[in-house]
Chain A
Amino acid sequence: MARMKFLCDAERCIECNACVTACKNEHEVPWGVNRRRVVTINDGKPGERSLSVACMHCSDAPCMAVCPVDCFFYTEQGVVLHNKDLCIGCGYCFYACPFGAPQYPQVGNFGSRGKMDKCTFCAGGAADAGSDEEFKKYGRNRLAEGKLPLCAEMCSTKALLAGDGDQVSNIYRERVVARGFGSGAWGWSKAYPGGGS
């Protein structure tokens, strides 16, 4: 079984935000929630780099460790999903995620706890694959349709890679060899300790 992983090659990301737009559109993510975002460091200065960041679907996900109601789970492909029926919107996972993945919509009366929302690796969620319920709660289940996450599929420079960890790792390794350097796989060692290049 493939182990799904993301990798963003900072040497290739051009900050076009197509991945962000694709994600919003594909999953009809509500206003105020960004499952994916592009972060630019040293903006306008030498050494400027951009990165597309979302849930990295960590091998040993820290969000799981702090969730009071154990709403997170792994799929067989290593995707970290959560059950919105169980989530109590406490916000604890935000303090645990190095990638700022958990998002909390402002809903209902002030102070009410909205269900956490995050990137699903386009793998749906805790509902029947392809059902209306799944789409409404979690977004489209592209993996069940045999497709990869749309953010990576859309990436014109192929900075953002998604798929089986071994293949993603091989692609990146080939790039590093070809260009002679490779410092751009930000977050890879944090998300997949011992499991990446």
Chain B
Amino acid sequence: MPARSWRTVTFMLCFSIVSAISAHAEDNTLRGHGGPVKSVVISPDGKTALTGSFDYSMIHWRLGEGAPEVVGRIADHDGAVNSVKFVPGTDWAITASDDGTVAVWDLPSGRLVHRFKGHTHKVVHVAVSNDGKWAASAAWDRTARLWDLTNLTAGPLLKGHVNTVNSVVFSRDGKFVYSAGYGGEIRQWRVEDGELERVVYKHGWGINVLAAIGDGRRLLFGALDGTVGVVDLSTGQPGQKLHKFERPVLSLTVSAKNDVAAAGSGDGLIYVWDIDRWLPKYRHQFADGPVWALAISSDAKGMYFGGLDDHVAYWQMDPDRPFEVAQSDVPRRFQKSEGLGPGERQFARKCSICHSLGEDHANRAGPSLIGLFGRKVGTVPGYIYSKTLKNADFVWNEKTIDQLFAEGPEHFVPGSKMPLQKMSKAHERLALIKFLKRATNVAPTDETKSGG
């Protein structure tokens, strides 16, 4: 990699500079999620953005002058939202979730247009054709699926991968869809009938992410062995290996004008290339964890990226302002273990990623625990509960909380959104309960007492 070609080399060494975060960089940070962000996309006109998070929600953002604003937050999945996309030619957005569904949303109203069901495992990626007529989803049930967005019906099932499918993209003309996954193959399928056209490329190592380059002739892929490569669709040959990260490639993006591409890795490195000549353009080292989500701003001067933080950071690439990226609060709330009492540590490590102790839910995957003791189950206003908890009839107290973690949510409240979380040791449960009694000690309102 020629050193002269780098326009920026960023290191997180100078904390005094880091602390001098400018208003400009702060203004562009997308703050609003309550969990790690897995997906970010910018609308073609650059005026809005979508993000999907571990907190079970999608957020629609307004970008422009000043700080980004939350236009709407949709939290109607029963699992993490792994991938989000705009649907061209409509006001719709589409989401793919750990709950196995792909959902179409009307952004102005926040209304669910349709929920596609059919996958039998988590859906990890979604793509939409340029004409907005088809969506494709990649899932860990070893299949990809096509969804007809005109008639809102299921399209062909794309079956043939021998392991998880991680990513899908459409060809420029919308006639084909490409899929890749842990098996390391890029497969090309006909949209019309779902037939396998050919195996385009075999990388050997698993492929995590695909991205289409606008000329319709090439695909970008990012792999488990750290390779970022370009595949020529006419020959199936890897035209160019752009970079070999030390860690797996987790995210890829191409700018709206198809002039810039970027990849993010498991160790927080972001590389940006000039597509014309595939020359490296920028490099940024994010010190605090993996880069799961990447999107280039519409003017190709900035990069939005998300990882384990609740926010999506903005890095101004041109002119380069690498030290102004919003910093992570490390260790994050769910990574803390030092200096905490036994109960507080249980809460921090096992509960805080999904629950807050504050007055609001902090947009986390689960409801706030404030006023937990004596509260009827499923009654916190503003939180969308599962049917199980809506219909349950008991009150949270020492006994029921102990039961919850002794038996596990899948047995105590089967059908709830809560993931498996058991504490087999009685003293750990007792410590947690003691801490929660202290930390959530706010008298429940009349409304929640009566089940409102």
Q: CB within 8 Å of B: which residues of A?
A: 62, 65-66, 68-70, 85-86, 88-92, 94-98, 100, 104, 106-115, 133, 190
Partner of B308, one of A62, A68, A91: A68
Chain B residues close to A by CB (< 8 Å): 36, 54, 78-80, 97-100, 121-122, 124, 140, 163-164, 166, 182, 205-206, 208, 224-225, 247-248, 250, 266-267, 289-290, 292, 308, 332, 334-335, 337, 349-350, 353, 409-410, 414-424
> Which residues of chain A come closer than 8 Å to B334, judged between CB atoms?
68-69
Q: Are B420 and A114 in contact (CB under 8 A)?
A: yes
Cross-chain contact of A98 among B224, B422, B423 (Cβ < 8 A): B224
In the complex, what distance in Å separates the CA atom of A41 from the CA atom of B354?
Answer: 42
Other-chain residue from A69, A104, A190 in contact with B335 (beta carbon distance below 8 A): A69
Q: Which of B99, B290, B349, B409 contacts A96 (CB 8 A)?
A: B290
Which A residues are in CB contact (< 8 Å) with B166? 95
Given A69-B334, A107-B420, A86 and B163 contact (CB-CB distance below 8 Å): no
Q: How far is the CA of A76 from the CA of B99 in the complex (A)?
A: 38
For residue A92, which residues in chain B have a CB less than 8 angstroms away from its CB? Answer: 290, 292
Chain B residues lying within 8 Å of A100, measured Cβ to Cβ, are: 163, 182, 206
Name the distance in Å between A130's Cβ and chain B's nearest Cβ.
16
Chain A residues with CB under 8 Å of B267's CB are: 65
Which B-chain residue is minimally distant from A106 (CB atoms)?
B121
Q: How far is the CA of A100 from the CA of B182 in the complex (A)?
A: 8
- Inter-subunit contact B416/A110 (CB<8 Å): no
Chain B residues within 8 Å of A95, by CB: 166, 208, 224, 248, 250, 266
Complex contacts, A85 vs chain B, CB 8 Å: 350, 422-424
Q: Which residues of A contact B332 (CB under 8 A)?
A: 68
Closest-CB distance, A129 to chain B (whole angstroms) = 16
| Chain A positions within 8 Å of B36 at CB level | 68, 90
Chain A residues contacting B164 (CB-CB under 8 Å) are 94
Min Cβ gap A167→B in Å is 27
**Cβ-defined partner of B206 (8 Å) among A62, A68, A98, A115:** A98
> Would you call A70 and B416 a contact (CB within 8 A)?
no
Contact in complex: B414, A108 (CB < 8 Å)? yes
B349 and A66 contacting across the interface, CB-CB below 8 Å: no
CB contacts (< 8 Å) of B289 on chain A: these are: 65-66
CB <8 Å contact, B98 and A97: no
**Which residues of chain B come closer than 8 Å to A62, judged between CB atoms?**
247-248, 266
Q: How far is the CB of A173 from chain B (nearest CB, A)?
A: 25
Q: Indicate if the CB atoms of B419 and A112 lie closer than 8 Å.
A: yes
Given contacts A91-B124, A109-B416, 15 further A-B contacts (CB under 8 A): A66-B250, A68-B332, A68-B335, A69-B349, A85-B422, A90-B54, A96-B247, A98-B225, A98-B248, A107-B420, A109-B415, A110-B99, A111-B99, A111-B100, A113-B98
